[in-house]
């Protein structure tokens, strides 16, 4: 959003992010590539261009993608980046309507939209979608009288030794007699362990 608002050329934006050691959120996918696009991104982009009053942020995101694809075929605009750009475009459209209908100061409208985005309010949309999916799985498992799924703790490790605090998870009994897990500080040589990033505990 910053690059589009400041009219920064996409190549300059990408190189500045690279120089500062920061990843570009919304760019890159482990599986999808320039030759195997995410169909959801294509459909949402097409819908927005047909129905949104303007797609300035989407257009900028696609220009960034065009530059990053010169570096790697997997540096595509992913679904999260597409949705983020489209909600920025949607909110910008709302601010334009507010200005037209209420004669609000356009600068104030733009500032209101930016504050919503900078507060991280749009992150709730991604949490909401995943929460609905989790609730659906829980309801299905209870309806079919299946035990709730528990991912193996030794598959949860995601950080390096320097960035983690090791915890050991031992099976204990809950009040209903089912097994649960409780943490105990331990080392990385444990057979059953997970890890937390420093600052998360």
**pLDDT tens digits for range 39-97:** 999 999 999 999 998 899 999 999 999 999 999 999 999 998 999 899 888 888 776 66
**Tens of pLDDT, residues 106-163:** 566 667 777 887 888 877 877 887 898 889 888 988 898 888 777 777 777 665 656 5
* Six-digit token string for 11: 């190549």
Compute the average pLDDT of residues 100-108: 61
Q: Output 195 or 123, whichever has higher pLDDT.
A: 123
In this predicted structure, what is the pLDDT of residue 48?
A: 95
Which carries the bigger pLDDT value, residue 33 or residue 150? 33
Q: What local confidence, expressed as pLDDT, does residue 51 receive? A: 92
Distance CA(127)–CA(172), nearest Å, equals 30
Residue 104: CB partners within 8 Å, gap ≥ 6?
98
Specify which residues 132 forms β-bridges with.
none
Phi, psi of 66 (to 5 degrees): -60, -35
Q: Which of 9-13, 93-97, 192-196 has the lowest mean pLDDT?
A: 192-196
Least confident piece of the model among 27-31, 42-46, 98-102: 98-102
Where do the domains of the chain lie, and which CATH numbers do they carry? Answer: 2-118 (1.10.230), 153-197 (no CATH)
Whole-number pLDDT of residue 184: 42
- Residues whose CB is less than 8 angstroms from the CB of residue 169 and which lie 6 or more positions away in sequence, other chains included: 153, 181, 182, 183, 184, 192, 193, 194
Q: In this predicted structure, what is the pLDDT of residue 101? A: 58
Q: What is the per-residue pLDDT across 172-186, written as a single tens digit (0 to 9) for each?
A: 444 444 444 444 444
State residue 78's pLDDT score.
95
């Amino acid at each position: 959003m910053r690059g589009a608002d400041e009219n920064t050329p996409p190549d300059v934006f990408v190189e500045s992010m690279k120089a500062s050691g920061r990843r570009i959120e919304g760019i890159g996918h482990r599986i999808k590539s320039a030759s195997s696009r995410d169909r959801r991104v294509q459909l949402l982009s097409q819908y927005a261009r047909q129905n949104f009053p303007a797609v300035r942020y989407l257009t900028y995101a696609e220009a960034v993608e065009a530059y990053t694809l010169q570096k790697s075929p997997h540096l595509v605009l992913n679904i999260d980046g597409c949705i983020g750009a489209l909600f920025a475009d949607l909110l910008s459209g709302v601010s334009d309507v507010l200005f037209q209908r209420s004669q609000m100061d356009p600068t104030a409208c733009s500032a209101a939209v930016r504050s919503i985005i900078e507060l991280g309010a749009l992150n709730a949309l991604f949490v909401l979608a995943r929460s609905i999916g989790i609730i659906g799985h829980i309801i299905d498992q209870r309806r079919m009288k299946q035990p709730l799924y528990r991912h193996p703790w030794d598959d949860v490790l995601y950080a390096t030794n320097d960035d983690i605090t090791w915890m050991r998870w031992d099976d204990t009994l809950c009040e209903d007699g089912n097994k649960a897990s409780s943490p105990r500080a331990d080392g990385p040589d444990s057979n059953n362990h997970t890890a937390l990033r420093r600052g998360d505990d």
